Amino acid sequence: MVAGAAPYGKRGGAALAVKGARIAWIGGAAEAAAKAAANQVPVEDCRGLWMTPGLIDCHTHLVFGGNRVEEYEKRLCGVSYEEIARAGGGIRSTVEATRAAAADSLLASATLRATRLMSEGVTTIEVKSGYGLELAAERRMLEVARELSRRLPVSVRTTYLGLHALPLEHQASRAVFVEQASGAWLETLANAGLVDAVDAFCENIAFTLAETEQLLRAAQDLGLRAHVHAGQLTDMGAAELAAKYAALSADHLEYLSAGGAAALAASGTVAVLLPGAYFMLRQSNPPPVPLLRQAGAAMAVATDCNPGTSPCTSLLLALNMACTLFGLTPEEALAGATRHAARALGLEAELGTLEVGKRADFALYQIERPAELCYNLGANPCVGVVHAGEMRPGASYMPARCAPGSP
Ligand code: DI6
Ligand code: FE
């Protein structure tokens, strides 16, 4: 699939040349064969496979300690996410486990989760901090996220989620926490080169509009773009605030007004839909996709992989849920995990479509038509991945029916 007007940007009988880490040429298969023979360039025959841009998971909390399976059991017995959060559980229990975890163990568990995402064709992952809520632990989370990209053939974008929950030690000093998190900590982490963007959980159980704005303003002063967790449980006007600061994305958006959708479209802020959390919380009011469409807002889809509300390491499953639960078309969902996800990370010039000059990140699937990537529940049709021009080791590229020379 390449950028273009055909549905899915589909292009049949195509070939693509890679030079170094970049896509150097796209054209017809016959022409490619002739050029390759003339220049003695090795050729891989992918007959029958679909190629997409490498998938991008643009919203994850991939680095954390412990898990929250007991909380899941409680929720199934009728205790709500808000009740658990107000009783000191929820995010705060993961904060405790994350603070207690050594970098090695955080790296080991995050590697497992990243590998599962990658096996489906994901080549870029956004990773948020936010379970440290103190400088040292936030730094450790961000360092582990950076380390992931050094150890694995995947790109990582780090997001400093400075305002995720109020930690226990600051219950009586809320303003001090917000001040530190948006001030000294942000500056230190940004100066250490650990922050690609910032984020805040703007919600009645988390941080107010004014507190979120404090972080967004500080980020702006440092030249950093933002994401905002907006409208997951209530509409507090967080989408409008994200738009005011030209945030890269506003995420969740189950509670969003027509004005909010229009504001996102006008500022070019991507609406990131997170059906895994919606599903796990058994919510019943999907994001207003028709409003977003009408407004012309770009929609992305991500896993929101986190231990509390979305223990999901399958972006393809998130695509299925975006279609089944939110009413996206498979074409919209796939754009949401490629071109619009790239835009949600500010990387649209570099990633998200198969175009000459962009990074050679792509995935190969054994499917008959692209909608199958959304249709299958729990199957993984990915048979090969190329990241930055390199075939990912261990990928089961070239299944028997497509081996060179086979019919
Ligand atoms: N919204 C979410 O769904 C996650 N964070 C957030 O701001 C939940 C994180 C958690 O419950 O651990
Ligand atoms: Fe999240």
Angle at 396 between CA 322 and CA 54, to 5 degrees: 40
Cβ count within 10 A of residue 325? 17
* Cα(253)–Cα(340) distance, integer angstroms: 16
- Treating both helix axes as pointing N-terminal to C-terminal, what angle do 135-151 and 103-118 enclose, rounded to 10 degrees? 50
Check pocket membership of 276 for ligand 1, CB cut-off 6 A: no
Check residue 373 and give its pLDDT: 98
Statement: residue 268 has pLDDT above 60: yes
Is the backbone of residue 146 left (phi > 0), alpha (psi -120 to 50) or beta? alpha
Question: Which ligand lies nearest to the CA atom of residue 278 in the structure?
Answer: 1
Check residue 395 and give its pLDDT: 57
Check residue 407 and give its pLDDT: 25
Check residue 291 and give its pLDDT: 98
Give tens-digit pLDDT for 203-237: 999 999 999 999 999 999 999 999 999 999 999 99
Nearest-CA residue for ligand 1 atom 11 is: 308
Strands 362-365 and 382-387 come out as: antiparallel
Q: At 367, is the pLDDT very low, low, confident or very high (cuts 50, 70, 90)?
A: very high
Q: Which two tokens stand for residue 288?
A: 């207003």
Residue environment code for 52-67, b if the CB has 16+ CB neighbours within 10 A, otherwise e: bbbbbbbbbbbbbbbe
Check residue 403 and give its pLDDT: 36
Burial, 392: exposed, middle or buried (Cβ in 10 Å; 0-12, 13-18, 19+)?
A: buried
Statement: residue 143 has pLDDT above 80: yes
Q: Which residues are placed with Cβ below 5 angstroms of ligand 2, an ion?
A: 304
* Cα(332)–Cα(387) distance, integer angstroms: 23
Check pocket membership of 304 for ligand 1, CB cut-off 6 A: yes
Check pocket membership of 182 for ligand 1, CB cut-off 6 A: no
Q: What is the position in ligand 1's atom list of the atom closest to the CA of 232?
A: 1
Nearest-CA residue for ligand 1 atom 6 is: 201
Check pocket membership of 229 for ligand 1, CB cut-off 6 A: yes
* Cα(333)–Cα(340) distance, integer angstroms: 10
Q: Percent of the chain scored above 90 by pLDDT?
A: 84
Statement: residue 406 has pLDDT above 80: no
Check residue 89 and give its pLDDT: 79
Nearest-CA residue for ligand 1 atom 4 is: 309
Q: What is the position in ligand 1's atom list of the atom closest to the CA of 64?
A: 12
Question: Which ligand lies nearest to the CA atom of residue 130 in the structure?
Answer: 1
Check residue 6 and give its pLDDT: 84
- R_g of the chain computed on alpha carbons: 21
Average pLDDT of the residues in 347-357? 98
Check residue 399 and give its pLDDT: 40
Contact 202, 243 (CB under 8 A): no
Check pocket membership of 307 for ligand 1, CB cut-off 6 A: yes
Check residue 400 and give its pLDDT: 38
CA of 151 to the centre of ligand 2 (A): 24
Check pocket membership of 374 for ligand 1, CB cut-off 6 A: no
Strands across the sheet containing 382-387: 50-53, 362-365, 382-387, 390-391
Q: At 47, is the pLDDT very low, low, confident or very high (cuts 50, 70, 90)?
A: confident
Q: Which of 223, 243, 219, 221 is nearest to 231 (CA)?
A: 243
Check pocket membership of 161 for ligand 1, CB cut-off 6 A: no
Cβ count within 10 A of residue 193? 10
Q: Percent of the chain scored above 70 by pLDDT?
A: 95
Average pLDDT of the residues in 291-299? 98
CA of 215 to the centre of ligand 2 (A): 17
Average pLDDT of the residues in 97-108? 98
Check pocket membership of 153 for ligand 1, CB cut-off 6 A: no
Give tens-digit pLDDT for 190-199: 999 999 999 9
CA of 195 to the centre of ligand 2 (A): 17
CA of 130 to the centre of ligand 1 (A): 9
Mean pLDDT estimate for the chain: 93
Average pLDDT of the residues in 303-325? 97
Q: Which of 323, 260, 337, 326 is nearest to 297 (CA)?
A: 260
Q: Which of 41-55, 117-131, 306-320 has the lowest mean pLDDT?
A: 41-55
Q: Which two tokens stand for residue 343?
A: 């835009």
Contact 145, 122 (CB under 8 A): no
* Neighbouring residues of 22: CB distance < 8 A, sequence distance ≥ 6: 357, 358, 359, 360, 389
CA of 362 to the centre of ligand 1 (A): 30
Average pLDDT of the residues in 357-374? 96
Give tens-digit pLDDT for 177-189: 999 999 999 999 9
Number of H helices, E strands in the chain: 17, 14
Check pocket membership of 94 for ligand 1, CB cut-off 6 A: yes
Of 82 and 197, more confident: 197
Sign of CA dihedral 314, 306, 113, 77: negative
Q: What is the position in ligand 1's atom list of the atom closest to the CA of 304?
A: 3
Residue environment code for 143-168, b if the CB has 16+ CB neighbours within 10 A, otherwise e: bbbbbbbeebbbbbbbbbbbbbbbbe
pTM score, two decimals?
A: 0.95
Check residue 88 and give its pLDDT: 72
Give tens-digit pLDDT for 112-132: 999 999 999 999 999 999 999
Q: At 401, is the pLDDT very low, low, confident or very high (cuts 50, 70, 90)?
A: very low
Check pocket membership of 277 for ligand 1, CB cut-off 6 A: yes
Check residue 2 and give its pLDDT: 55
Helix (H) / strand (E) containing 57? strand 55-57
Average pLDDT of the residues in 77-89? 84
